[in-house]
Amino acid sequence: MAKRSGPPPIIYIIIFLALLGLGYWFFLRKPADQPANISSTGQPTVAPPPPPDAEIFPSPASVPPNTQIQIDGSTSMVTITENLKQGFSRQFPNARVNTMANGTNNGIKAVLNGEADLAGISRSLTPQEENQGLKALPIASDQIAIVVGINNPYQGGLTDTQVYNIFTGQITNWSEVGGPNATIQVINRPPVSGTHQAFQEMVLQGRTFGTTPNITTLPRDETTGMLRQLGTDGIGYATFTQVVNQQTVRTLSIEGVQPGSLSYPYQRQLYYVYKQPASQAVQAILGYATSPSGQQVIFEED
């Protein structure tokens, strides 16, 4: 009998099975958590599609001399609004855009009182606000991050139920979520904050925040001030854009998912609100904001 040359058949079987396994890994298995359409700064790279009833404003070719536009509203939209201001002013040097960030509710009041042309808001309009002639145009998607101080010894994540129980005052000690025996100091944003209202609706399912002694509600809607108070035992919440590059805080995963991921549970839309009928100045800046060049500007990274 002739002697067989080459490796034994079992080697080919092993190679075939190895190749089959690699094919499964690369082509069939998908990551459990794919990144969302968010840049390294936490900034979304495209605006959400407008609703069917949204007004569509054309991109302006020019604006009247001495055009002035006042924008107020949510601190969550500071980066977007400042980018919009810079881009619009570069394209139309004869226009002047003034910006403030006094919170969602104050921004809405400013528009209703004629003190602002636009308000950036981080929640939907209420029916009562819509009945007063206000109209909202979605401009970006956003995520609300749960944050602790960088030196907080708690290194775990939280479940949605644990977040609910912490901010309603039912969990008051870090040991109840697997951390050290220390009181959880909850730093809450004021009710005027759109992020406060969105968090209450989205995370607390409409229930009010707790009133236990460990929960402190800030008098002003100021993210920087809130972050400074976290220390080693505090917890708070903020728009992801504002904390993603902060060196003094950490974001906590929720249900095993970090903010910046597509499956992160706490997501919302951001809007610009104006009073109908839209003025010529409002039409111009919203037409620019929703144009391809405007979109590129307002979502660019620093």
pLDDT tens string 221-265:
888 989 999 999 999 999 898 898 899 999 999 999 999 998 999
Q: What architecture is domain 67-142+269-298?
A: 3-Layer(aba) Sandwich (3.40)
Mean pLDDT of the 258-281 span: 94
Residue 9 pLDDT grade (very low, low, confident, very high; cuts 50, 70, 90): low
Cα gap 87→153, rounded to integer Å: 42
Residue 18 structure tokens: 């190895």
> What confidence tier does 269 reach under pLDDT thresholds 50, 70, 90?
confident
Answer yes or no: is pLDDT of 199 > 90.
Answer: yes
Average pLDDT value for the chain: 85
Amino acid occupying residue 207? R
Query: Cα 182 vs. chain centroid, distance in angstroms?
Result: 29
For tokens 């660019």, the residue is: 300
| Helix/strand/coil for 109 | helix
pLDDT tens digits, residue range 101-146?
998 999 999 999 999 999 999 888 999 999 999 999 998 888 999 9
| pLDDT above 60 (res 296) | yes
Query: Would you place residue 10 in the very low, low, confident or very high pLDDT band (cuts 50, 70, 90)?
Result: low
Helix (H/G/I), strand (E/B), else coil: 102: coil
- Reading the block at residue 243, the tokens are 């904390």
CB 161 within 8 A of CB 190: no
Query: The domain 143-267: what is its CATH number?
Result: 3.40.190.10
> In this model, does residue 43 exceed pLDDT 70?
no
d(CA 163, CA 40): 25
Does the pLDDT at position 44 exceed 60? no
Choose among 141, 110, 101, 111: nearest CA to 282.
111
For residues 166 and 186, the answer to whether their CB atoms sit within 8 Å is yes
Residue 141 has a pLDDT of 83
Which residue has better confidence, 23 or 76? 76
Question: Amino acid identity, residue 145?
Answer: A
Q: Where in the chain is the domain with CATH 3.40.190.10?
A: 67-142+269-298, 143-267
- Nearest to residue 74, comparing CAs of 47, 105, 98, 117? 105
DSSP character string of 241-276 = HHHTT-SSEEEPPBTTB-TTBTT-S-EEEEEEEEES
pLDDT at res. 36: 37
Q: With cut-offs at 50, 70 and 90, classify the pLDDT of residue 59.
A: very high
